[in-house]
Amino acid sequence: MSVISDKLRKEFGEGDAKRDAGLKTPEDIERSDDISYGEHPKWNLLDVYRLKSKKGQKLPVIAIVHGGGWVYGDKEVYQYYGMSLAQRGFAVVNFSYRLAPEYKYPSAIEDICAAFRWIYANAEEYGLDTDNIFAVGDSAGAHLLSMFSCLITNKKFLKEMKKEYPKACFDLPKGMHLNAVALNCGKYDLEKDKDKDEKSVDLIKDFLEHGGTEEEMRLVNGVDHVTGKFPPAFVMTCPGDFLKSQAKYIVNKLNKKEVPFCYRYYGDKKNKLHHVFHCNTRLEEAVKCNDDECGFFKEWIQTS
């Protein structure tokens, strides 16, 4: 364990515990917990949240790729946020994935692939509409989601990843797609703005097998692999987000590639909010942001 990873796990854990203190499962939510979606007994687990009133119905899906600097987090610290999304009419799949530095990149991407294989394989049992699949990611989770979105929409990039990581499993269900994604307070170009996020240099060393070689960095920058087939994207940040300068990199690339997107900047000088504020379901601004994102998703729902 590196010093930076150990420190972040402690700080983030304390902050998330304080944020969610006293919260309980909403009475209108049905949850299925600790479902295995892969080989690892601890990290390859997921929950499914649905409105009880929608029992028996197939619902559009939101998969959550949690944040935490690639070294922290699991489904437990995203459960209340996830259930709040389910209250907006979605079936929410909230999963943990293997963390660095114990598990280097692309372990997290492999687990994301495995989670989506589970979604397709278990759609009937859990009422998941595989014609309408969405995903949200924040901070490092937004980075991983952007990478995954490139993986499923850029054949050249997928080929390069398989060549660089021949032992990794990036298998996906036939017809795998994302109707749209939400990228919240994310990091999309790992080589830029290091002076504004000093922790990132040490975290990248923990995240990547060789500490950030030229080839590793080329394959790990999401913005470098965006094509016109990238899913429609909702991109969000705020004044108090220490990664706010990163939003322009993904927005500029989406614009250049003519990918439909919505960019939102929440808060102002008096109310700066903070990094991943949208996960705090008690905040009025979080409610607004999550309403906006789910509204954006509903614009991309395909009806038969």
Stretch 124-129: mean pLDDT: 98
Average pLDDT, the chain: 96
Q: Using DSSP bridges, classify how beta strands 180-184 and 233-237 pair: parallel, antiparallel or unpaired.
A: parallel
Stretch 40-60: mean pLDDT: 97
* pLDDT value of residue 207: 95
Residue 36 has pLDDT above 90, yes or no: yes
What lies within 8 Å, CB to CB, of 263 at 6+ separation is: 235, 236, 247, 251
Residues of the chain with pLDDT > 70, as a percent, come to 98
Model pLDDT for residues 246-298, shown as the tens digit of each residue: 999 999 999 999 999 999 999 999 999 999 999 999 999 999 999 999 999 99
Stretch 217-243: mean pLDDT: 96
CA 33, 39, 41, 44 dihedral sign is negative
Residue 237 has pLDDT above 90, yes or no: yes
Residue 89 has pLDDT above 70, yes or no: yes
Residue 196 has pLDDT above 70, yes or no: no
DSSP codes joined into one string, 211-236: SS-HHHHHHH-GGGG--TTSPPEEEE
Residue 198 has pLDDT above 80, yes or no: no
What domains are defined for the chain?
Answer: 3-299 (3.40.50.1820)
Q: Which of 112-121, 185-194, 283-292 has the lowest mean pLDDT?
A: 185-194
* pLDDT value of residue 202: 87
Residue 194 has pLDDT above 80, yes or no: no
* pLDDT value of residue 193: 74
Q: At 158, which helix (H) or strand (E)? A: helix 155-164
Rounded-to-integer distance, Cα 174 and Cα 39, Å: 21
Residue 1 has pLDDT above 60, yes or no: no
Residue 195 has pLDDT above 80, yes or no: no
**Confidence bin at 197 (pLDDT 50/70/90):** low
Residues written for the chain: 304
Stretch 87-94: mean pLDDT: 98
Residue 147 near residue 181, CB atoms below 8 Å: no
CA distances from 34 to 51, 54, 55, 62, 75 (A): 18, 21, 20, 17, 9
